[in-house]
Amino acid sequence: MKWNNQLIEQLQWSNTIINRAGKERVAKEVADMAKNGDIIGAGSGSTVYLTLFALAERIRKEALHIEIIPASNEISMTCIQLNIQQTTLWNKRPDWTFDGADEVDPQHNLIKGRGGAMFKEKLLIKSSDKSYIIIDPSKKVERLGSKFPVPVEVFPGALNHAEQEIRRLGASEITLRLAVGKDGPILTENGNFILDVRFDTIGSGLEQQLKSITGVIESGLFIGYDVDIITAE
């Protein structure tokens, strides 16, 4: 028996979606890539959210069998709201993944993680044969870190050690991301803290240097990944 999910039925995107018309156009473009039987990884962000609506419309009209592997509770709840079937990485591998980004440089290196789901997002991209990053023009930068800090997911008990080691890598500023609507720090999908870290320069090896610190679960750096960029103009 299914739950009467009134709270999920009322779910809406928490913030105003900037450039909604452009994002809806590219959301339809991405949804049109789906084929019957596809297993699709879905990251996080407003364009991913809108793409699920376009995908749900195709599923309804064309009776497609498509399963989503969500990167976050927010996206999972949206799938429930839209009656899109879900699966997990325990038993399925995504044919392809779509996601957003906070910054994209000319070499298609990324900063992600404003939504706090970068560990699962990175796992989905690594597991997929093809990955599409959907952005609007404001996300394009000449240098990573010019607009946003690098999110670093840290096990709570390792907070002090991680801060010390990250400073040794040249961090110019480190802040613990605080929650909105509750006291204390924000928690990731895995129950960890997020440090927002500023670097004057981000080298090609920084992603691995951060990952090598004991207590660091993942960072929002995606350097050298094979992704296609789709821009919502």
> Tell me, what amino acid is at 12?
Q
Q: Which residues pair with 150 in a beta bridge?
A: 197
CA distances from 42 to 26, 101, 115 (A): 15, 13, 13
CA distances from 68 to 11, 157, 204, 229 (A): 18, 33, 32, 20
Tell me, yes or no, if 121 is annotated catalytic.
yes
CA distances from 211 to 93, 197, 222 (A): 24, 14, 12
Burial state string for 28-43 with b = 16 or more CB within 10 A and e = fewer than 16: bebbeebeeebbbbbb
> Tell me, what amino acid is at 47?
T
Cβ atoms of 202 and 209 closer than 8 Å: no
Q: Given its phi and psi angles, is residue 17 left (phi above 0), alpha (psi -120 to 50 degrees) or beta? A: beta
Question: Please, what is the end-to-end C-alpha distance for the chain in angstroms?
Answer: 43
Secondary structure (3-state) at 211: helix
List the catalytic residue out of 9, 62, 74, 121: 121
Q: Return the active site residues.
A: 121
